[in-house]
Amino acid sequence: MGSHPIPTATDPPRIRFPALLALTATGALLAGVAAVVALLGHMPHDVSLAERQAVTIATPIAVGLYAWREGTHARFGRLLVLAGGAWFLAALSSSSNELVYSIGRVSGWTVEVGLIYLILAFPSGRLTTRLDRRLFAAALAVVATLFVPTAFMTDAYPAPSQFATCVSDCPENAFMLLSSEPAWVDGVIVPLRELLASLVLLAVVVRLADRIRGATRLMRRTLAPVLLFAILRTISIAVSLGLRRAGVDDSVLAVSTAVTELCLPAMCIGFLVGLLRWRMYTADCLVALAHGLRRRSGPGERRDLIAATLTDPTVELASWRPEGGWVDAEGKPMSLPPASAERLATVIFDDDEPVAAVVHDAALSEQRSFIEAVGAYAFVWDDNRRLAARVESSLTELRESRARILAAADEERRRIERDLHDGGQQRLVALRIRLELAEEMMRQDPARAGSMLHRLGDDVDAALDELRSLAAGVYPSLLAARGLPDAIRTAALQSPLPTIVEVDGADRYPSEIETAAYFCCVEALQNVAKHAPGANTVEIALSRNGDLRFEVRDDGPGFSVDDAPGAGLVNMRDRIAAVGGELEIRSSPGAGTAVVGTIPVGR
Partner 1 sequence: MAIRVVLAEDSLIVREGLHQLLAASPSLNVVATYGDVESLLDRVERDRPDVILTDIRMPPSNTDEGIRLADHLRESRPSTGVVVLSQYAEPPYVLALLEHGSDRRGYLLKERIHDRGQLISAIDTVARGGSVIDPKIVEVLVDAKSGTDHSPLTGLTPREREVLAEIAQGKSNAAIAESLVLTKRAVEKHVNSIFTKLGLAGSRQVSKRVKATLMFLADSSPSSMSAHEPM
Footprint of partner 1 (CB under 8 A): 457, 461, 464-465, 468, 471-472, 476-478, 480-482, 486-487, 489-490, 492-494, 496-503, 537, 539
Q: Which is nearer to partner 1, 304 or 539 (CB)?
A: 539
Task: Report d(CA 74, CA 16) in Å as an integer.
Answer: 12
Tell me the closest approach of the beta carbon of residue 477 to partner 1, in angstroms: 6
Cα three-residue angle 84-105-90, rounded to 5 degrees: 10
- Cβ atoms within 10 Å, residue 122: 25
Residue 595's contacts (CB-CB under 8 Å, 6 or more residues apart) are: 520, 524, 527, 551, 552, 553, 572, 583, 584, 585
Instruction: Please say which residue, 384 or 494, places its beta carbon nearer to partner 1.
Output: 494
The answer to whether residues 207 and 120 touch, using CB atoms and an 8 Å cutoff, is yes
Identity of the amino acid at 72: T
The CB-of-521 to partner 1 minimum distance in angstroms stands at 13
Measured from the CB atom, the residue of 30 and 492 that comes closer to partner 1 is 492
The residue among 537 and 543 lying less far from partner 1, judged by its C-beta, is 537
CB 72 within 8 A of CB 6: yes
Task: Decide whether 493 or 564 has the Cβ nearer to partner 1.
Answer: 493
Rounded CA separation 552/558 (Å): 13
**Shortest Cβ 459–partner 1 spacing (Å):** 12
Q: How far is the CB of 529 from partner 1 (least distance, A)?
A: 12
Determine the Cα–Cα distance for residues 237 and 221; give it in Å rounded to an integer.
Answer: 25
**Closest CB 493 distance from partner 1, rounded Å:** 4
Q: How far is the CB of 583 from partner 1 (least distance, A)?
A: 23
Asked whether the bond before 322 is cis by omega within 30 degrees of 0, the reply is no
In the complex, what is the shortest distance from the CB of residue 514 to partner 1, in angstroms, rounded to a whole number? 13
Q: Which of 348, 354, 351, 353 is nearest to 378 (CA)?
A: 348
The least distance separating partner 1 from the CB of residue 333, rounded to whole angstroms, comes to: 48
Residues counted in the chain? 603
Q: State the Cα–Cα distance between residues 490 and 483, nearest whole angstrom.
A: 11
Sign of the dihedral through C-alpha 107, 108, 110, 114: positive
CB of 504 to partner 1, least distance (A): 11
Cα 194-198-199 angle, rounded to 5 deg: 120
Shorter beta-carbon distance to partner 1: residue 21 or 462: 462
Nearer to partner 1, 22 or 471 (CB): 471
| Residue 444 CB-density burial (10 A; 0-12 exposed, 13-18 middle, 19+ buried) | exposed
**Residues 179 and 154 sit within 8 Å (Cβ to Cβ):** no
Using the minimum distance from each CB to partner 1, give the nearer residue, 382 or 486: 486
Distance of CA 178 to the CA centre of its chain: 62
- Could you tell me how far CA 100 lies from the centroid of its own chain? 51
Closer to partner 1 by CB, 97 or 495: give it: 495
Is 230 strand, coil or helix? helix
